[in-house]
Amino acid sequence: MKINVCIGSSCHLKGSRVIVEMFQDRLKNDNLTEMIELSGSFCLGKCNSQGVSIKVDDEIICGVTKDNFNEIYGKYVSKEG
Ligand code: FES
């Protein structure tokens, strides 16, 4: 699995750096760093959303914030809900 966190200027202003750190921490805690490739990406073309845009494999997910991070992580990454 590949996770790209948008680090374009709009998402940067909405806190993409924090989201990257949260992914790093969670993936480490869950022992998934070997299995999941985390990287930054240029603008994903969804700047209008309320939060940061990310891409999980080929799916773009908009509006990621530190408040809904765990929910998003559970739904798309750990698939445990
Ligand atoms: S800067 Fe992130 S979607 Fe445009």
For each of the domains in the chain, give its residue range(s) and CATH number, in order of start.
Answer: 2-78 (3.40.30.10)
Which among 9, 17, 68 is positioned nearest to 38, based on CA atoms? 17
Q: 2-58 pLDDT, tens per residue?
A: 999 999 999 999 999 999 999 999 999 999 999 999 999 999 999 998 999 999 999
Amino acid at 64: V
The pLDDT score that the predictor gives to residue 81 is: 43
Closest ligand 1 atom to 12 CA: 1
**pLDDT given at position 56:** 97
Q: State residue 80's pLDDT score.
A: 57
Using CB atoms within 10 Å of the CB of residue 17, give its burial: 0 to 12 exposed, 13 to 18 middle, 19+ buried. Answer: middle
Report the C-alpha gap between 34 and 61 in whole angstroms.
22
Q: If you take atom 1 of ligand 1, which residue's CA is the nearest one?
A: 8
Give the pLDDT confidence of 51-72 residue by residue, as tens digits: 999 999 999 999 999 999 999 9
Whole-model pTM: value is 0.94
Q: Which atom of ligand 1 is nearest to the CA of 62?
A: 3
The Å distance, Cα 39 to ligand 1 centre, comes to 14
Q: Rounded to whole angstroms, how far apart are CA atoms 4 and 44? A: 9
Residues with CB under 6 A from ligand 1: 6, 8-11, 43-47, 53
Q: What angle do CA 13, 50, 4 make, to 5 degrees?
A: 65
